[in-house]
């Protein structure tokens, strides 16, 4: 196993810095990892580096990328709180950057995208419309923007707040009643409509694994909007793990689950 | 040899940078992200004119601190290069992008990695006088790796020179299951955790297994004596939440992640003098 660093140019010329973990033999797949929110490509507590090493040891080529504004990437982003950064990423800040990285990956092995938390949104949306992507794996995929209703209600008071609450309540009822087939953006501004569309578009079209921590609550959002029964999407909960899989043993479990699932999902069909 | 080294590092010879952009009188030097050192195990980001008269090695802090500080230290390398200095950010093995898991690193590996970083700095900037920046738990390995006059000056940022006290501080709130109001329980739990490390067992701190081999070396060193050898050439910067929020945890509403202008200007002022 070897590592190398390389730089990819985004469409606007910004430098995106990547580390590639190259297996000793021919790669079983080429996995591109989106950064988990406003973090460098090593991930929270270096968990993505560890995950990449484990997947590479199992025969996968893995590329981790720093995307704009974070880590070693070019193009600074405006100063903001961590939840604000998260929301920007969940709204698609990194989607085109990740596509630029996947376009630079030259390998005949099946291309797989992986992302955790806000990075899961990036991975899922980057896969939409990219015919080279053969599978997507997400961990703790949020379909509601970080801060949710709280962010929408920030700074509102009195009658304005009551009116907004009524609109949000109507929006939630429409989304739930239609099993998220109707996505009224104006009535449900906390909902990440593009990622729900991507989820619907990709499920059944290519293998999709949605992983969640058993101690997390983000998967409740999927159930609430009936997105937990999508055809062709495998959903798995890992007991005892939270929103992040930071502890070394947790990373090992996630790597084993992903490796086993990819072996099944990418097996040539008879 | 100097000419050969300079030729090797001209931007033309780097794969992804075809030309050297010029902004007014200031040369904007490209960044080189590369693996180097024994078996290519060390990762670094280098920038600056090859004929720089002064070059700074920025040693990334070990463990999860390297992730928190990444953007800030990366921007420091960029800023140092923009002001005409050579700069190299190195991740010790077990941290950042370098090889090994944190628990596989040791005090000796950290010391050797600082020395290898200085060799790489000399290779890239052969005419430069060398300076060194080390952060938190990286301070003692840096002190052990080099003494003056091998390097001109040393900047220690939030150095953990009393490692036992620093670890106890970092363990505050990191031990699961503690009650917020049970200060005595927390104190006992931290004492027990440090005792496990003393007994040679790895403990998990910030999602990383803190290596007993690093702990032993940090405890066995004499940082006060090492620091005294530097005299006035050493500068200690206590950053605080207002100047380097990256190291100050549990501040979800702090405005962080991309810029630390106060820290950067302090470090640049140090590099200039």
For A91-142, give the DSSP string.
Answer: TTTTHHHHHHHHHH---SSPEEEEEETHHHHHHHHHHTT-TTEEEEEEES--
B176 interfacial to chain A (CB closer than 8 Å): no
Determine whether the interchain pair A79/B255 forms a contact, defined as Cβ–Cβ distance below 8 Å.
yes
Q: Rg (Cα) of chain A, in Å, rounded? A: 18
**A-chain residue closest to B33, CA distance:** A5
Neighboring chain A residues of B74 at a CB cutoff of 8 Å: 71-72
Determine whether the interchain pair B66/A42 forms a contact, defined as Cβ–Cβ distance below 8 Å.
yes
Determine whether the interchain pair A42/B97 forms a contact, defined as Cβ–Cβ distance below 8 Å.
yes
Determine whether the interchain pair A5/B31 forms a contact, defined as Cβ–Cβ distance below 8 Å.
no
pLDDT of residue B20: 45
pLDDT of residue B260: 64
pLDDT of residue B175: 55
* Helical spans, DSSP H, in chain B: 2-8, 65-68, 70-82, 107-124, 139-145, 163-171, 183-198, 212-220, 223-230, 261-272
Element of type H or E holding A16: strand A15-22
B70 interfacial to chain A (CB closer than 8 Å): yes
Among partner residues B101, B254, B256, which is closest to A50 by beta-carbon distance? B101
Closest CA to B41 of A53, A250, A48, A45: A53
Among partner residues A19, A53, A82, which is closest to B257 by beta-carbon distance? A82
The whole-angstrom distance between A14's CA and the closest CA on chain B is 13
Which of B42, B70, B176 is the best mutation test for A, with the most CBs of A within 10 A? B70
Q: Is the distance from CB of A154 to CB of A83 less than 8 angstroms?
A: no
Alpha carbons A205 and A40: distance in angstroms, whole number = 31
Closest CA to A70 of A133, A122, A125: A122
Share of chain B above pLDDT 90, in %: 54
Q: Low-confidence residues of chain B, pLDDT below 50?
A: 1-26, 177-180, 248-258
Determine whether the interchain pair A5/B33 forms a contact, defined as Cβ–Cβ distance below 8 Å.
yes
Residue A106: both structure tokens together = 């030259």
Determine whether the interchain pair A46/B99 forms a contact, defined as Cβ–Cβ distance below 8 Å.
no
pLDDT of residue A81: 81
Determine whether the interchain pair B257/A5 forms a contact, defined as Cβ–Cβ distance below 8 Å.
no
Closest CA to B134 of B95, B81, B85, B84: B95
pLDDT of chain A along its 270 residues, tens only?
899 999 999 999 999 999 999 999 999 999 999 999 889 999 988 999 999 999 999 999 999 999 999 999 998 888 788 888 999 999 999 999 999 999 999 888 999 999 999 999 999 999 998 999 999 999 999 999 998 877 778 888 899 889 888 988 898 888 888 888 888 888 888 899 999 999 999 998 999 999 999 999 899 988 888 888 888 899 999 999 999 888 889 999 999 999 999 999 998 876
pLDDT of residue B3: 42
**B-chain residue closest to A67, CA distance:** B71
**A-chain residue closest to B43, CA distance:** A5
Among partner residues A40, A49, A78, which is closest to B71 by beta-carbon distance? A40
pLDDT of residue A156: 85
Q: 110-149 in B: which are within 8 Å (CB) of A?
A: none
Neighboring chain B residues of A46 at a CB cutoff of 8 Å: 64, 66-67, 95-96, 102, 207-208
Q: Which residues on chain A place their C-beta less than 8 Å from a C-beta of chain B?
A: 2-7, 9, 15, 17, 19, 38-47, 49-50, 53, 69-72, 76-83, 85, 244, 246-248
The whole-angstrom distance between B45's CA and the closest CA on chain A is 9
Alpha carbons B221 and B212: distance in angstroms, whole number = 14
Determine whether the interchain pair B257/A248 forms a contact, defined as Cβ–Cβ distance below 8 Å.
no
Model confidence pLDDT, tens digit, residues A21-34: 999 999 999 999 99
**Residue B114, CB-side half-sphere exposure with 13 Å CA sphere:** 30
Q: Quick one: B268 exposed, middle or buried, by C-beta within 10 A (0-12, 13-18, 19+)?
A: middle
The whole-angstrom distance between A55's CA and the closest CA on chain B is 14
Burial pattern B52-66, b for ≥16 Cβ within 10 A else e, equals bebbbbbbbbbbbbb
């Amino acid at each position: 196993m070897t590592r190398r660093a390389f730089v990819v140019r985004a469409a606007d010329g910004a430098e995106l810095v990547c580390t590639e973990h190259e297996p000793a033999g021919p790669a079983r797949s080429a996995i591109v990892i989106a950064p988990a929110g406003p973090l460098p490509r090593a991930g929270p507590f270096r968990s993505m580096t560890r995950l990449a090493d484990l997947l590479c040891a199992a025969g996968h080529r893995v590329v981790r990328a720093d995307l704009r504004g974070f880590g070693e990437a070019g193009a600074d982003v405006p100063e903001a709180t961590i939840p604000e950064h998260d929301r920007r990423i969940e709204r698609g800040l990194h989607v085109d950057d990740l596509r630029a990285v996947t376009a630079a990956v030259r390998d005949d092995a099946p291309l797989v995208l992986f992302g955790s938390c806000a990075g899961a949104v990036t991975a899922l949306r980057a896969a939409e419309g990219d015919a080279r992507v053969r599978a997507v794996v997400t961990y703790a995929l949020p379909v509601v923007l970080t801060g949710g209703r709280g962010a929408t209600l920030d700074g509102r008071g009195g009658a304005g707040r009551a009116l907004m609450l009524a609109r949000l309540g109507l929006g939630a009822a429409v989304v739930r009643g239609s099993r998220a087939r109707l996505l009224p953006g104006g009535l449900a501004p906390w909902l990440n409509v593009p990622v729900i569309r991507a989820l619907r578009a990709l499920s059944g079209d290519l293998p999709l694994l949605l992983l969640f921590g058993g101690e997390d609550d983000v998967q409740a959002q999927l159930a609430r909007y009936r997105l937990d029964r999508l055809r062709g999407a495998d959903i798995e909960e890992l007991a005892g793990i939270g929103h992040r899989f930071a502890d070394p043993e947790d990373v090992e479990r996630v790597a084993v689950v992903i490796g086993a699932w990819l072996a099944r999902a990418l097996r040539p069909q008879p | 040899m100097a000419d050969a080294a300079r030729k090797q590092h001209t931007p033309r010879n780097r794969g992804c940078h075809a030309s050297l952009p010029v902004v007014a009188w200031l040369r904007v030097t490209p960044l080189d992200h590369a693996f180097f050192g024994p078996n290519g195990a060390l990762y670094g980001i280098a920038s600056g004119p090859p004929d720089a008269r002064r070059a700074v090695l920025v040693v990334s802090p070990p463990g999860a601190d390297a992730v928190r500080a990444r953007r800030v230290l990366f921007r420091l390398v960029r800023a140092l290069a923009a002001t005409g200095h050579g700069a190299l950010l190195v991740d010790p093995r077990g941290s950042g992008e370098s090889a090994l898991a944190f628990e596989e690193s040791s005090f000796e590996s950290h010391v050797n990695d600082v020395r290898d970083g200085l060799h790489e700095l000399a290779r890239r900037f052969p005419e430069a006088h060398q300076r060194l920046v080390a952060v938190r738990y990286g301070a003692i390995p840096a002190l052990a790796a080099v003494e003056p006059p091998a390097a001109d000056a040393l900047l220690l940022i939030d150095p953990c020179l009393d490692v036992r006290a620093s670890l106890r501080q970092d363990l505050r709130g990191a031990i699961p299951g503690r009650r917020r109001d049970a200060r005595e329980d927390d104190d006992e739990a931290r004492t027990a955790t440090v005792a496990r490390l003393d007994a040679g067992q790895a403990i998990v701190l910030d999602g990383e297994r803190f290596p007993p081999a690093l702990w032993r070396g940090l405890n066995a060193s004499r940082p006060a004596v090492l620091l005294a050898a530097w005299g006035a050439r050493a500068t200690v910067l206590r950053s605080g939440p207002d100047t380097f929020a990256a190291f100050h945890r549990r501040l979800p509403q702090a405005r962080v992640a991309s810029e630390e202008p106060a820290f950067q200007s302090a470090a640049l002022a140090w590099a200039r003098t």
